[in-house]
Structure 1
Amino acid sequence: MILQKQAIRLSSSYSAESILSPENRSKCLKCLQSVPMPKTKPNRLQPEASVLVPVCIDDKGETSILYTRRSGLLSRHVHQISFPGGIKDPEDASFEDCALRETEEEIGLPRSRVEIWGSGPMLKPPNAASIMPVYATIRNLNLNELKLNKVEVESAFTIPISELASPNNFRYTQFKQSYSGPVFIVGDKRIWGITGIMTHNFLQCLLPKEESSKRPIIKYIRPYRAK
């Protein structure tokens, strides 16, 4: 009986009713403006990009996040897990428009299925495009409705937020001559790099305080260098 009550309480902590209310979404967006970011020196000549960070809601009100695995046909970051998105085109009216266009091109999800509720702040990794995360909700997603562009995307899948929020699935990595960053390992899925940073910061701000406080805080510290 006690375990059943704990399971119900845990499930409700990550339900759409709990974390996607207008008040909590507003709080999340405000929080994201002040989360720590890696201290890097971005290349101003790099382009700008946008990705969609989609929270999926099933018919029971439970939440998950939609990810893609990059195709082996690409020239960079092959087979790595990412969010749908890409470089902002001159024809894109906004970063939100870019994220919707790229999502439809990559996984065949019409923009009419996506409810955008916020964006930012911009991430500026070194030697790569600056990335604007766009936060959205997708209701009753059936993965079978997606039409993957196999040149860009190998697969698409969702991971329950309850799994991403579990300290048991959290690690960190130290990049060579760069910053430390969060890593999520759920089953055979490994989420790291910029996608790991965006996931970590998003959950820190989206989840209830009593849940986010259980998760480790990653300090973006550059390694010691001998003089």
Structure 2
Amino acid sequence: MPRSGSLAALSRLPAPAPPRSTREPVPSAAPHPSHGAGRPGRPRPRPPRFAKPGRQNRPAPPSAGRCPRCPRRADMVLDSLSAEGERCCRQLLRETTARFRARPAAAAVLVPLCLVRGVPALLYTLRSSRLAGRHKGDVSFPGGKCDPADQDVVHTALRETQEELGLAVPKEHVWGVMRPVYDRAKASVVPVLASVGQLDLQSLKPNPEEVEEVFVLPLAHLLQTQNQGYTHFCHRGHFSYTLPVFLHGPHRVWGLTAVITEFALQLLAPDTYRSHLVCVQLPNDSKPALED
């Protein structure tokens, strides 16, 4: 896994406060073809969340996402889906898979790598606003809480994906388990990377009780610097850490979902994607956590 410090630091990060409506608005995003505007019977996307003045959602530096060895990003993205790219990702995930697959966890999510009309993309969901709790209406990957009957976190991620989207993913399509992330309550969430192949979004059957919308973000979109940002967080008045944000899609990707997205990009495009995950060790915090 590229940038060894980034992943090792994740389990020591403190929980960021969610953006509040009294703060400076996020910079305006360019229209996206999959926005709800103009589609009969579909509501317009929720307005962007708000951010800390002068701190949140800054564009990534111009040098991010560029590599002299990889001038053709589209070719690189397709290479990541080749047999050799899959073999490489499975090899990189072998250690974390062996370590965390059978370890008890609070929840697991599937990171679905798919092809939509031949374009490599990641599949996301918008959680239903009818759900209870503080995460309703948030962008997330399909997944949920581990059940005592689940064999391991892979079983949890696949079961929850089928329940939420009607999408059955064979176990052999799972490439591996990524390092867990932690929410504010310090509950572990384990990401599971899998290839779901060619995907027609119209063939999915989202559970309306859990999922409000299903959308994809092409890997090429996620790797474009104008769609990458970062958020600084402070702890007790001092800078503590920086998290990635992905902009200009149907919905803003932030929090744990953005961190997991970054993990996937580091695996799939290690020479192209530059991490925005930065951590400073905080005193007197044995296991600070992130918030989605």
User: 1:109 aligns to what SS in structure 2?
Assistant: coil
TM-score, normalising length: structure 2: 0.61
The CA deviation string for residues 11-55 of structure 1, in whole angstroms up to 9 with x for no partner, is 22211xx00234433443555699xxxxxxxxxxx9521100011
1:183 aligned residue (233, 245, 254): 245
Corresponding position of 1:67:
124
Corresponding position of 2:82:
21
User: 1:14 aligns to what SS in structure 2?
Assistant: helix
Give the residue type in structure 2 aligned to 1:172.
Y
Q: Which sections of structure 2, spanning at least 5 residues, go unmatched?
A: 1-70, 96-103, 284-292
Corresponding position of 1:53:
111
Contact 2:114 2:195 in 1 (8 A): yes
Between the aligned partners of 2:186 and 2:207, the Cα distance in structure 1 is 23
Q: 1:32 to 1:183 in 2, by over 3 A?
A: farther
Contact 1:104 1:110 in 2 (8 A): yes
Greater helix content: 1
The alpha carbon displacement at 1:174 in A equals: 2.8
Superposed, 1:1-227 pairs within 5 Å as 9-15=72-78, 18-28=79-89, 31=92, 48-58=106-116, 60=118, 62-74=119-131, 75-112=133-170, 115-175=173-233, 177=235, 179-209=241-271, 211-212=272-273, 215-221=274-280
Contact 1:33 1:121 in 2 (8 A): no
Contact 2:116 2:200 in 1 (8 A): no
* Farther-moved stretch of structure 1 (132-141 vs 110-119): 110-119
Q: 1:221 to 1:179 in 2, by over 3 A?
A: same
Q: 1:114 to 1:27 in 2, by over 3 A?
A: closer
User: 1:111 aligns to what SS in structure 2?
Assistant: coil
Q: Kindly, what percent of the aligned residue pairs are identical?
A: 38
RMSD: 2.8
Between the aligned partners of 1:84 and 1:114, the Cα distance in structure 2 is 18
User: 1:186 aligns to what SS in structure 2?
Assistant: coil
Q: 1:216 to 1:222 in 2, by over 3 A?
A: same
User: 1:205 aligns to what SS in structure 2?
Assistant: helix
Give the residue type in structure 2 aligned to 1:19.
S
TM-score, normalising length: structure 1: 0.77
User: 2:191 aligns to what SS in structure 1?
Assistant: strand
Between the aligned partners of 1:125 and 1:182, the Cα distance in structure 2 is 16
User: 2:110 aligns to what SS in structure 1?
Assistant: strand
Between the aligned partners of 2:168 and 2:112, the Cα distance in structure 1 is 13
Corresponding position of 2:46:
none
Corresponding position of 1:38:
none
The alpha carbon displacement at 1:198 in A equals: 0.7
Q: Which has the higher contact order (CA 8 A, sep 6+)?
A: 2
* Farther-moved stretch of structure 1 (95-104 vs 172-181): 172-181
Aligned residues: 201
The alpha carbon displacement at 1:148 in A equals: 1.1
Between the aligned partners of 1:145 and 1:199, the Cα distance in structure 2 is 24
Q: Which sections of structure 1, spanning at least 5 residues, go unmatched?
A: 1-7, 35-45
Contact 2:241 2:277 in 1 (8 A): no
